[in-house]
């Protein structure tokens, strides 16, 4: 199977060696621990052999736990870091690239601006991303798409990943206008979408059948070669949900996919971007 999970957070209860960022306390870590070994108990039985790690908010801009885990589990992990877009971001991008950091998570709350991508640092990041083939990985809602659309038009060669189906249906309602807005982003040829975090959207109940139309629309708009499956663990394995539930949604609910298309969604898109040597 050799599936690739495009979106997982890991952290350690060892806050002596890996200090929490200002504003976070141990009580904020729920679950208290989610190390790679704890992840593997869920992912390996499901046929997942490689993972893109996402820097956890508990650590702020200190990506050391994530990069240490990438080093320790050589060949299993790559990473998506979080850096300060207003503090020499290009320097940080170049420092992290040799550590197998392939993308940088960006989100509206990282800076204070009327338009969330207007700070100069983001233009620097988008320009460097185009040169180095490092993606801007966006944790956003549909309302944030117009600003991303502007930047994608300005930097058409920059790889961009929209996380969690743009969080459509987070309030329980999947709106046609939001689906259309996300699908319209397919006009930018370097934009990809993560299809997952099913536990958080729509009815929020496996087998997630109500998310089939949304997923189908997105996959049709972008094509499977620009879509990648994700779980958003450890949150996918909370009460009422399992890791296998996320896998089964792709394997059993999306029956319109051919075997080759399913392979792209579950493995090859993430493999091509995150794991192939550039």
Query: Quick one: pLDDT at residue 26?
Result: 95
Beta bridge partners of 135: 103
* Sign of the dihedral through C-alpha 246, 58, 60, 52: negative
Return all residues near 89 (Cβ < 8 A) that are at least 6 apart: 83, 104, 121, 124, 125, 128
Query: Quick one: pLDDT at residue 150?
Result: 98
* Sign of the dihedral through C-alpha 227, 81, 72, 274: positive
Angle (CA) 239-3-10 rounded to 5° is: 50
Residue 259 token pair = 């075997």
- Cα–Cα distances in angstroms (integers) from residue 94 to residues 75, 88, 102, 110, 118, in the given order: 20, 10, 11, 20, 22
Note the helical H segments in 5-159: 36-43, 64-72, 89-96, 120-132, 145-154
List phi, psi (to 5°) of 253. Answer: -85, -35
Query: Quick one: pLDDT at residue 228?
Result: 98
Query: Quick one: pLDDT at residue 112?
Result: 85
Query: Quick one: pLDDT at residue 209?
Result: 98
C-alpha–C-alpha distance, residues 251 and 177, integer Å: 27
Segment (H or E) for 181: helix 176-184
Residues in the chain: 278
List phi, psi (to 5°) of 79. Answer: -140, 155
Mean pLDDT of each 10-residue bin along the chain, 278 residues long: 96 97 96 98 98 97 98 98 97 98 96 91 98 98 98 98 98 98 98 98 98 98 98 96 98 97 98 88
Angle (CA) 132-136-142 rounded to 5° is: 155
Residue 136 token pair = 């801007």
Return all residues near 259 (Cβ < 8 A) that are at least 6 apart: none
The verdict on pTM exceeding 0.85 is: yes
Q: Where are the domains of the chain?
A: 3-275
C-alpha–C-alpha distance, residues 220 and 8, integer Å: 25
Return all residues near 201 (Cβ < 8 A) that are at least 6 apart: 164, 165, 167, 168, 169, 170, 174, 211, 214
Whether the Cβ atoms of residue 164 and residue 196 lie closer than 8 Å to each other: yes
In CATH terms, the fold of domain 3-275 is TIM Barrel (3.20.20)
Query: Quick one: pLDDT at residue 15?
Result: 97
Query: Quick one: pLDDT at residue 278?
Result: 58
């Amino acid at each position: 199977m050799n599936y690739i999970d495009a979106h997982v957070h890991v952290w350690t209860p060892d806050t002596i060696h890996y200090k929490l960022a200002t504003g976070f306390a141990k009580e904020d870590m729920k679950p208290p621990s989610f190390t790679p070994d704890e992840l593997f108990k869920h992912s390996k039985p499901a046929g997942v052999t490689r993972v893109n790690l996402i820097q956890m908010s508990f650590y702020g801009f200190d990506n050391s736990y994530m990069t240490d885990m990438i080093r320790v589990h050589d060949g299993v992990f790559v990473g998506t870091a979080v850096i300060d877009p207003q503090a020499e971001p290009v320097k940080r991008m170049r420092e992290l690239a040799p550590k197998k950091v392939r993308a940088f998570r960006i989100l509206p709350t990282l800076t204070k601006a009327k338009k969330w991508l207007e700070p100069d640092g983001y233009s620097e990041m988008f320009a460097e991303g185009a040169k180095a083939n490092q993606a801007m990985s966006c944790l956003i809602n549909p309302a944030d798409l117009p600003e991303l659309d502007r930047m994608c038009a300005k930097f058409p060669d920059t790889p961009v990943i929209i996380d969690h189906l743009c969080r459509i249906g987070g309030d329980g309602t999947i709106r046609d206008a939001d689906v259309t807005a996300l699908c319209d982003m397919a006009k930018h040829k370097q934009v990809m979408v993560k299809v997952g975090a099913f536990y958080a959207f729509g009815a929020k109940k496996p087998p997630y059948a109500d998310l089939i139309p949304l997923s189908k629309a997105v996959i049709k708009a972008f094509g499977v070669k620009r879509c990648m499956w994700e779980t958003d663990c450890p949150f996918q394995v909370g009460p009422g949900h399992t890791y296998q539930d996320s896998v089964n949604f792709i394997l059993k609910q999306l029956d319109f996919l051919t075997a080759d298309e399913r392979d792209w969604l579950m493995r090859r898109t993430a493999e091509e971007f995150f794991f192939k040597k550039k």
